[in-house]
Amino acid sequence: MFRARGSIGGEIVPTSHHANLQVNKRVIGVPGDSVEARSGQVYVNGNRADNIPTRSFQAVRLGHDQYFVMGDNRSVSHDSRAFGPIPRSSIYARVILNVWPLHRFGIPGYDKHAKPPGMLCH
């Protein structure tokens, strides 16, 4: 999850302060990665990231402290393709339980005790 200013359906600006939104997206790329979509698939550093159909977009090279986020419903998701990479400081939480879609219900397979990127909620 990351903090942002703006409105759902309108402009969203990731921010580390003065946020009025909490946005939940999938982190696709981390600093140093190259993210692009071609032939209906997303690739990170030349490797397919997932099997979610995605319209093509040009490669984005992530700089220091930049993360590329995308929604799972890619045909309508407002994500880094629209507002660009997000700064690490805007990220404050990670998913600890998937509830939707139902076939993915459960605890994600990563170390939930590791510190997420960015500062935690105060």
Distance (Å, rounded) from C-alpha 17 to C-alpha 89?
9
Distance (Å, rounded) from C-alpha 31 to C-alpha 100?
28
Structure tokens at 19: 């946020």
pLDDT of residue 18: 76
Is residue 53 within 8 A of residue 70, CB to CB? The reply is no
**pTM for this predicted structure:** 0.79
80: nearest Cα among 101, 110, 104, 59:
59
Q: What is the mean pLDDT of residues 59-70?
A: 95
| pLDDT digits 0-9 by tens, 68-121 | 999 888 988 889 999 899 999 898 887 777 776 777 788 776 655 555 554 434
| pLDDT digits 0-9 by tens, 15-39 | 777 778 788 888 999 999 999 999 9
1: nearest Cα among 113, 108, 95, 119:
95
The full set of domain ranges for the chain reads 2-104
Identify the CATH assignment for 2-104 out of 3.20.20.100, 3.30.2020.10, 2.10.109.10, 3.40.1170.60: 2.10.109.10
Distance (Å, rounded) from C-alpha 69 to C-alpha 83?
10
